[in-house]
């Protein structure tokens, strides 16, 4: 492993940190309270070029890399994990599969407007009956002349209802199971496509999470992404990178919670001195910081590997596993540092705690990450 943050990475970090501080943090608590997705935040990110960080300029991106993208997700999540996952799902789950498997025409038609932030991307794999067992999907796609007809539904769709482009997986030959599934690019105004239930969630409340429904939804054959029958592999490869975006989100959440805890511990005086100087609290802060640093290094390593064109699936599963657990541990401890105040909405640590939990669940539970890692170790 060999990576070093470049001047460009540092510049992007500073730009996103300033943006997060000025444009995202002030409304984070109220948007959380109201469970309100704010598209204008995405529009402002797009103005800064953040909607297409790793994509080449020929496809509307800024031509940077996956490490810069992870740094951006981290910095956004440091103040608001809902905005972090908006960018993560848009880039890793919406944009990546088109970048990797799309034809030149599909890239110009779909990746370019996503990279420029004119359109928001999303990804639909999970169904009511198939979560961890993603290959057990029931949504079908039937070929009828020059189009496919999709029927079924997908749930827990990040950016659902606000996304314009959904990468969706459906069975074109259900008898072949994972080898009979195909990826499709769906536009939100295709006939037969609609938005179903909107989830009311514990955390990342201002990120939109909905069901998407296909009722005889007509999809032109030119919207097949990659080869017919390659959908499951495309879904898995997409998640390989997506998981590292979630790791970056988890690192950001944990760092935000630590920042708050350190600030509070320096000011809160008990037994005649700031609690930060009491060993019980000081050691807690030290452990929190150490875990975050380890999680960050795993995350940056996986992002660097991807940027270098090296294998990164195992490392990405490891980074999500470790960073997700770190976010949960650190946010729990942050509340402990704040004591009773941490349990109230007067401070942001309870929000970080609620937001952290999802990083152990989505884009594959921690148990699935262990499955992926152990299979790679033994294959």
Residues that bind ligand CAA (CB under 6 A): 89, 93, 123, 125-126, 132-135, 156-158, 178, 232-233, 236-237, 239-240, 313, 362-364, 368, 371-372
CB closer to ligand CAA, 312 vs 347: 312
d(CA 73, CA 348) in angstroms, rounded, equals 19
Minimal CA–CA distance to 11: which of 64, 57, 55?
64
Smallest distance from the beta carbon of 269 to ligand CAA, in angstroms? 42
Minimal CA–CA distance to 366: which of 320, 328, 329, 326?
320
- Environment class of 146 (CB within 10 Å of its CB; exposed 0-12, middle 13-18, buried 19+): exposed
Smallest distance from the beta carbon of 45 to ligand CAA, in angstroms? 18
How far from the centroid of its chain's Cα atoms is residue 63's Cα? 20
CB closer to ligand CAA, 91 vs 140: 91
- Buried b / exposed e over 43-73, threshold 16 CB at 10 Å, is ebbbebbbbbbbbeeebbbbbbbbbbbbbbb
C-beta separation of 287 from 339 below 8 A: no
Q: Which residue is nearest to ligand CAA (CB)?
A: 364
CB closer to ligand CAA, 333 vs 363: 363
CA-CA distances (angstroms) from residue 76 to 50, 70, 83?
11, 10, 6
Instruction: Show Cβ contacts of residue 345 under 8 Å, excluding neighbours closer than 6 positions.
Output: 29, 33, 351
CB closer to ligand CAA, 151 vs 178: 178
Smallest distance from the beta carbon of 237 to ligand CAA, in angstroms? 4
Smallest distance from the beta carbon of 267 to ligand CAA, in angstroms? 37
Smallest distance from the beta carbon of 111 to ligand CAA, in angstroms? 18
Active site residue 363: yes
Smallest distance from the beta carbon of 276 to ligand CAA, in angstroms? 36
CB closer to ligand CAA, 292 vs 372: 372
CB closer to ligand CAA, 35 vs 371: 371
Q: Which of 34, 293, 363, 367 is catalytic?
A: 363
Read off the DSSP letter of residue 130.
Answer: B
CA-CA distances (angstroms) from residue 320 to 244, 260, 307?
6, 23, 17
Q: Is the dihedral of CA 293, 298, 301, 307 positive or negative?
A: negative
Instruction: Show Cβ contacts of residue 277 under 8 Å, excluding neighbours closer than 6 positions.
Output: none
Catalogue the active-site residues.
363
């Amino acid at each position: 492993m060999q990576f070093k943050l470049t001047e460009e990475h540092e510049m992007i970090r500073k730009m996103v940190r300033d943006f997060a501080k000025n444009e995202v943090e002030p409304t984070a608590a109220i948007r959380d309270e109201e469970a309100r997705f704010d598209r204008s935040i995405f529009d402002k990110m797009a103005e800064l070029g953040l909607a297409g960080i790793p994509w080449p300029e020929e496809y509307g991106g800024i031509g940077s890399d996956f490490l810069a993208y992870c740094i951006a997700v981290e910095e956004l999540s440091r103040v608001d994990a809902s905005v972090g996952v908006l960018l993560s799902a848009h880039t890793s789950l919406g944009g990546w599969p088109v970048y990797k498997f799309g034809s030149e025409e599909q890239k110009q038609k779909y990746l370019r407007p996503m990279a420029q932030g004119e359109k928001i991307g999303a990804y639909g794999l999970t169904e009511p009956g198939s979560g961890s067992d993603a290959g057990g999907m029931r949504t079908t796609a039937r070929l009828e002349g020059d189009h496919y007809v999709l029927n079924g539904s997908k749930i827990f769709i990040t950016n659902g209802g606000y996304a314009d482009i959904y990468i969706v997986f459906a069975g074109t030959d259900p008898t072949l199971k994972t080898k009979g599934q195909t990826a499709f690019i769906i536009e939100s105004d295709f006939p037969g496509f609609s938005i179903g239930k909107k989830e009311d969630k514990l955390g990342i409340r201002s990120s939109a999470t909905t069901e998407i429904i296909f009722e005889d939804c007509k999809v032109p054959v030119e919207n097949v992404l990659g080869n017919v029958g390659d959908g499951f592999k495309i879904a898995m490869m997409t998640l390989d990178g997506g998981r590292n975006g979630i790791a970056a989100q988890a690192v950001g959440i944990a760092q935000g919670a630590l920042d708050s805890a350190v600030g509070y511990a320096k000011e809160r005086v008990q037994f005649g001195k700031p609690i930060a100087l009491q060993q019980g609290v000081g050691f807690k802060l030290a452990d929190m910081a150490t875990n975050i640093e380890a999680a960050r290094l795993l995350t940056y390593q996986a992002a660097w590997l991807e940027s270098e064109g090296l294998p990164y699936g195992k490392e990405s599963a490891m980074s999500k596993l470790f960073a997700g657990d770190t976010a949960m541990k650190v946010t729990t401890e942050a509340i402990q540092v704040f004591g009773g105040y941490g349990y109230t909405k007067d401070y942001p640590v309870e929000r970080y705690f609620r937001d952290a939990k999802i990083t152990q669940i989505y884009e594959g539970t921690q148990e699935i990450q262990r499955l992926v890692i152990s299979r790679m170790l033994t294959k």
